[in-house]
Structure 1
Amino acid sequence: MGAQAAGGEGSGVRTLERGLAVLAALAGRRAATLTQLARDVNLSASTVSRLLDTLCRQGFAEDVDGTYRVGPRAAQVGQAYDAHDALLAAARPVMRAVVDDLNESVNLAALRGPEAAYVAQVEGRQLVRMFTQLGAAAPLHASGVGKVLMAWRDDADVAVLLGKGPYPAFTPHSLTTWPAYRDELARVRAQGHALDDQERELGVRCVAAPIRGADRSVVAALSVSAPTSRLTESEVPRFVARITAATGEISRALGWTP
């Protein structure tokens, strides 16, 4: 059984590779016939025809009277990449400015399935500082960025992504029930920022705020985190003011208007 599964997986990977090769060849030509694409990818016309049928059904290619071109779903993928690139370009200089002001680590996170994924970081210069590996994920219920990414979504969407609980308790401060989390999201919406008060890790606080796109939707979250010995309760308002000013600047660069 294991050998069959491995063989099926390998066949699926080869099919995916061939399909992507056809799509790349199609993108290079803008429009092409079946014969041209088969020659470009060095596959038989029958194989390329089957791959094109799948690409067309999924919206990644279009057949216009026997001439193929890139479909709308491929364009959506490209737009998503452009949007990510634009987000990083707008955020990085602002993140560096926040670090200059607060001397604490600043993180940029975006939604990735049922988690918040860190896509950029600028580290503070303190001897003891918060470090996050790029690509690492934070739980939506126990992180400032997770709360921000969820707060402006409908309860039904949040429930689909997170479930109705109970949620894992990382510390005694973690929110573990749906009613408590729902109330917390309402608080985040009302105040415009989120606080992770030792909910993921004891001794660490984090404040986060939303970054919005031109359509006013929340596209990412920006946060600053530090040990509780430096980010004390009395310091929270100063950190909130700086991070919300930063997210406003990034959002405006992405086309958002208040």
Structure 2
Amino acid sequence: MTDADPARRPGRTRTGETEPVRTLERGLTVMRVLGQHGPLTLGDAARHAGLNASTAYRLLHTLQTQGFAQELAGLWGVGVQAFATGQAYLGAGGLIPAARPAMQALVTELGETVNLAVLQVPDVVYVHQEEGRGLMRMFTQIGARVPLHCTGAGKALLAWQPAQEIGRVVEQMSFQPFTPRTLTTPAAYLAELEQVRRHGYALDNEERELGVRCVAVPVQDAGNQVIAALSLSAPSSRLPDSRVGELAARLQRASQGIGTVLRR
């Protein structure tokens, strides 16, 4: 190999090697679109994925033959194989089995809904929930994606990342206002993250939905890396400022317990 062969230089690959990767990326994009927006017509699936209809159809047909997509009455949705594959995330030794007992104990003790979320820039993805017992219960669909800037879980996930990573992520954030309390500028958000690091917990102060507050703390893995956020959400009337510190401390103890299980 010599430098005169550009196709073989470090960092370069042949066209025949990049095309399968590009196809895989597009196929995964289509799967994500079905999970977020489906069931969809072919045209809507293509539009959400940023593809032309013929490319989207070929990808959907391939996903269908493998069981990852299905078509019913002209609408495309997620197939049963996607569900079966996703169950591996719940397997023994993983994050959710480690967190579930602690989350259930929190609900028993406090009566409020407890969530587990992971980072998928520029959003958080909710991967597990233990529902509260009150008449007014907070519910978030498992798999739902919510912008980082307006959630306690998002702040807890991002606050302890390296400064360079935080800067990169903030550049990608839209700062869409959802309520009058939403943080809508990078400067305000970065200042909020500083407060999160200082206090050890994050607060969503009706920033996503008026009348709903959330307290969140980070969850660390065996390498002391933040891999998830544990949060408690409740109507604002049940989560006044006077209870924030108490609930944050209880969440922190639960998070430490989850980390202990992950380190075994």
TM-score normalized by the length of structure 1? 0.68
1:154-173 to 2 correspondences below 5 Å: 154-163=162-171, 167-173=175-181
For structure 2, the 5+ residue unaligned runs are 1-42, 44-50, 68-87
Residues 104, 226 of structure 1: 8 Å contact kept: yes
The corresponding residue for 2:183 is 175
Q: 1:158 offset after TM fit, Å?
A: 2.7
Partners in 1 of 2:92 and 2:178 — Cα distance?
30
Paired residue type of 1:123: E
Number of the residue aligned with 2:154: 146
SS of 1:241's partner is: helix
Q: Deviations over 1:184-239 (max 9, x none)?
A: 11111122111111111111111000110011110000000111111111111111
Q: Kindly provide the amino acid, as one letter, of the partner of residue 125 in structure 1.
A: R
- The answer to whether the aligner puts 1:222 opposite 2:230 as a matched pair is yes
Shift of 1:12: 4.6
Instruction: State whether residues 108 and 220 of structure 1, in contact with CA within 8 Å, keep that contact through their aligned partners in structure 2.
Output: yes
Structure 1 pair 159–16 and aligned structure 2 pair: CA distance change class (3 A): farther
Q: Is the 8 A contact 2:149 2:173 kept in 1?
A: no
Q: Paired residue for 1:205, among 208, 213, 219?
A: 213
Alignment partner for residue 194 of structure 1, among 194, 202, 206? Answer: 202
Point out 4+ residue stretches in structure 1 off by more than 6 angstroms: 14-18
| Higher gyration radius (CA) | 1
Please, what TM-score do these two structures have when normalized by structure 2?
0.67
Contact 1:140 1:162 in 2 (8 A): no
Alpha-carbon offset, residue 15 of structure 1: 6.6
Q: Hey, what's the Cα distance between the residues in 1 that align with 2:62 and 2:213?
A: 47
Please, which runs of 5 or more residues in structure 1 have no aligned partner? 22-79
Assess if the C-alpha contact under 8 Å between 1:165 and 1:176 holds in 2: no
Q: Which amino acid aligns with 2:127?
A: V
- The percent identity for this pair of structures is 47
What's the RMSD between the two structures over aligned residues? 2.8
Q: What is the count of residue pairs matched by the alignment?
A: 197
Query: Equivalent residue for 1:96?
Result: 104
1:223 alignment partner, SS class: strand
Structure 2: distance between partners of 1:141 and 1:226: 19
Q: Distance in 2 between matches of 1:198 and 1:152?
A: 23
